[in-house]
Amino acid sequence: MNEISALNLLDEKLQILNQTKLPLVEEYILTDDLERICESIEKLEVRGAPAIGIAAAYGFALSFKLKSELNDNFIMQVYSRLAKTRPTAKNLFFAIDRMLKVAKKSNQSNIYHNLIEEAIKIHKEDIEMCNKMGENGIEIFKKKSIVLTHCNTGSLATGGSGTALSVIKTAFYNNLIEMVFVDETRPLLQGSRLTAFELEKVGIPFKIIVDSAASHTILTQNVDLVITGADRIASNGDSANKIGTYNLAISCNYHKIPFYIAAPSSTIDSQIKNGKGIIIEERSNSEITSLNGNEITKSKYNTFSPAFDVTPNSLISGIITEKQVFRFPYKFV
């Protein structure tokens, strides 16, 4: 096994594996600058809801490393800048809300120490949650299975072994995975670039497919189940994940195979009743009109580029968390 890490704290700086360069180049960013960390989140150099939250926590803490004067305005400036980076991911707000509480309880002499300890704690908690999701997810496998997944949900997207990919890895180590079909995940190809990279590292057999081949693959390749991650889950179980996830859930429902989501409980937003309350981030035209900086259609063309869609709770067979596998109708408390 060759697990990889999306981010680490090294010598009081945040080391980020630049995921925009993978799988062809392994490039690392090392910084203690808040703005650079925010840019890394916005540019998807670090991505995946749990990893975004961890990066934001470290960014919050490192903002105070050399701060000689403490004031509430600065604390809120740091909070606000991080909050603007990726509006859909619940884990971002879970993390920075925790950091804000610690900051407000601290004084000049201990604020940096308290904040960095809290960020490390958030990171360690995510590692443990990933492991438990993998263990809990074993129950969804009834036999050695062919699985289809979407986007990237492994160690590149989290602080630990992943969400949906943690379940897949744990099942593989228990001889329950025959093959994993990996959606390429347009427009930024997180499946063909990142998930394939992770599966190759740990030796799990996989095949990359284009997103539009998913239903055909389910029909013709005897797919047993589909499992994805989530970026925000409403209190009724409606789940926002990478655009294209809703299509998969509809296809699973039609073909009568289970569709699962794996996500830590920190992704569940108890303040939102249903999916209508989830803000869907829209990305720039260039992500559709260009590929690796090369124009593939006219850049002047208008696009509609939602980063996420929402899958209704009725299409979800189960939501795997570090606590348990929840089933419809979803009650998380």
Q: Looking at residue 82, which CATH number applies to its domain?
A: 1.20.120.420
Residues 88 and 170 reside in one and the same domain: no
In a domain, 332, yes or no: no
**pLDDT at residue 193 in the model:** 96
**pLDDT at residue 289 in the model:** 97
Q: Which domain holds residue 78?
A: 7-131
Q: Looking at residue 167, which CATH number applies to its domain?
A: 3.40.50.10470
Identify the CA nearest to 24 among candidates 187, 201, 203, 194. Answer: 194
In a domain, 331, yes or no: no
Residues 109 and 152 reside in one and the same domain: no
Residues 125 and 166 reside in one and the same domain: no
* DSSP bridge pairs for 232: 240
Residues 127 and 137 reside in one and the same domain: no
Residues 157 and 221 reside in one and the same domain: yes
Mark whether 238 is an active-site residue.
no
Could you tell me the end-to-end alpha-carbon distance of the chain, in angstroms, rounded to an integer?
A: 36
**pLDDT at residue 66 in the model:** 82
Residue 51 makes CB contacts below 8 A (sequence gap 6+) with: 6, 7, 156, 157, 158, 159
Query: Consecutive 10-residue runs of the chain (333 residues): their mean pLDDT?
Result: 84 96 95 97 94 97 85 93 91 96 92 97 96 98 98 96 97 98 96 96 97 98 98 97 98 98 94 96 94 92 97 98 96 85
**pLDDT at residue 299 in the model:** 95
Residue of 183, 211, 224, 231 marked catalytic: 231
